[in-house]
Amino acid sequence: MATVVLLSMAAVFFGVLTLLYRCGAERDRKKARLDEVKTARSGETCSDRKKESAGLEWLRQMGSLLKSRQRNRVLGQQISNTRSKKKLSEAEKMLMIADVQLTGLQFMLVKLASAAVLASACRLCGGVLVRSTGMADRLVPTLTLCGGLLGEILPARWLKSRVAGRKALYREHLPDVMDLLVVSVEAGLGFDAALIRLYQKDKSPLMQELMRAMQDIQYGMTKREAYTNLSQRCGVKELTSFVNALIQADQMGISIRTVLKTQSESLREERRQRAEEKALKAPVKMLLPLVAFIFPVIFIIILGPAVMNVMEILG
């Protein structure tokens, strides 16, 4: 009886152990399955997050690229506008110095019209040459392009030459005008009265500009503004220094006679230096005509008889 009880108790014990082992194994299996599901879900979530972050990064890059392109486009437009305005301002300044009654835009239109007219004329001449002489047809576009370029260059060259001539005229007349002003002021006339007296006898472009500045002052413009406008209209360094001296004399209360005398001496010295500079450049400029035209004639005169005698002896 005791043996049966012991065996029953052992069977129950082993049965309980087996049940507990199976319950633990099932729990471990479910736990592993749950971990696998969580891992898969986390992987999917990470991949989704990576895809989403990649999409956001792509959108961000595209947005920055579009912004940079828009900024570059706006910056390019601003640079082009600045360059065009600079060109117009330079043309207007040159037109003002040359005393040409045109605006910068009108001068640009004149250049375009000149280029179109010369291009059309060269195209017409090229067509006539091709028909009359049988030349190649590609000569016509070449002549048209050359005519357009020539029409673009000629007005600019004319304006530059006129500006250079105007500045040279100002530099030539300024020392003489300054000497006459010094004499007139020392004789007892005021600066304005001396200018009027000189203008009655000399109506050169420089005197016209000086009288225009005086008229601006009479119309209500300050002396600083009138003299600054005079300097900008003429564009000559010597006249600019004279104008600055007049402005400083007016602000500091210095005698105008002292300023005029000092400027007159300075201008005479600068004119003497320019004359010496031109004299030093003259031999270098004369070298090319001497070599090209005079030396060959001298060689012919000197060596001609000897060459003729040698030819007679050999003949």
Read off the DSSP letter of residue 235.
-
Which pLDDT belongs to residue 170? 87
Separation in Å, CA 15 to CA 146, 201, 262: 113, 142, 130
pLDDT tens, position by position, 166-197:
888 888 888 888 888 888 888 888 888 888 88
> For residues 43 and 272, which has the higher predicted lDDT (pLDDT)?
272
pLDDT at 27 over 60: yes
- pTM here is 0.59
**pLDDT value, residue 76:** 47
Cβ count within 10 A of residue 193: 12
Q: Decide if pLDDT at 13 tops 60.
A: no
Q: How confident is the model at residue 33 (pLDDT cuts 50, 70, 90)?
A: low
Q: How confident is the model at residue 44 (pLDDT cuts 50, 70, 90)?
A: very low
Alpha carbon separation from 172 to 16, 43, 65, 206, 236 (Å, rounded): 129, 91, 60, 10, 11
Please tell me the distance from the alpha carbon of residue 136 to that of residue 109, in angstroms, as a whole number. 33
Q: What is the pLDDT of residue 315?
A: 63
Average pLDDT for 234-263:
83
